[in-house]
Amino acid sequence: MIEWLNAISTVVIAIFAVVTSIAIICQVKTARNTNRAWIIVSPANETPQFGYILDPKEPKDEDFGKDKTNVFGVAFKNTGGTPARLIEYSVIYMYIDRLDNIPQEPDYGKIMSFDGLLLVKEDSIGGFTFLKSNPLPTKAQVMAIHRKEAFVYAYGFVSYRDVYGRKHETRFGYLYFSPLGLDPRPAGFKREELPTAYNNAT
C-alpha cells in the first residue's frame, strides 16, 4: 500500500514539474513576444505633389516649374518595447499603366544593408528611392495618375533581429489613390488594392 502511494506521489510530482516547466516556458515566450521590437514602415509624405516636365509641344503655363524628381521616402520606426538590430531593406517606387501589371509577389530588386544598425524603442530612420523607370514623367503622365489612367505604387521590406536574436521581417506596400467625382476619400498612399504579399510582418 505504501509503495503504491509512493508511486502515485512520484507520478503527481513529475506531472506537476512538467506542468510548471511548461508554464514557465510559456511565460517567458509571452514576455518576449510582448516586449519584442516591432518595426513599422510608413510613407514620409502620404500626399506628394508629383513632379513632371512639360512636353516640348505643350505651351508653358503657370504650373511649369514642378520639374522636381519624384522620390518616395519612408520611415522605419521601432514601436516595440526593446531595441532592434536592422539587417537589410529595399524600397521600390513604380509607375504603371494598369493595376493588372502589379505582380502578385513583390520583386525587391537590389537589397541594401543596414549593417546591424541599432534602433531603440520609438526611434526611427529614413529611406528613399526614385520613381522607376522615369523619375521625371511628363505632365500628361502625371495627369493620367489623377484620372486613374495610370498608377504609382511603392513597396519594400525591412528585416531585423530582436534582443533575443530572433529574425523578423516587415513588408510594406502602398498604392497612390486619387479620388474621382464625388468620392469623399482623400488622396494619398493607401495599402488597399495591393496583393496581400506586399503587406505582412513576422
The residues spanned by each domain of the chain are 1-35, 37-201
> How many angstroms separate the CA atoms of 41 and 135, rounded?
22
pLDDT tens-digit map of 122-136? 999 999 999 998 888
Q: Which residue carries 520611415 as its cell? A: 75
- Please, are residues 142 and 50 in contact by the beta-carbon 8 Å criterion? yes
pLDDT (tens digit per residue) in 131-181? 998 888 988 899 999 999 999 999 999 999 999 999 999 999 999 999 988
pLDDT digits (tens, 9 = 90+) for 20-61: 555 444 444 454 456 999 999 999 999 999 998 876 666 665
The CA distance from 202 to 157, in Å, is 11
**pLDDT of 22:** 53
The structure's pTM equals 0.81
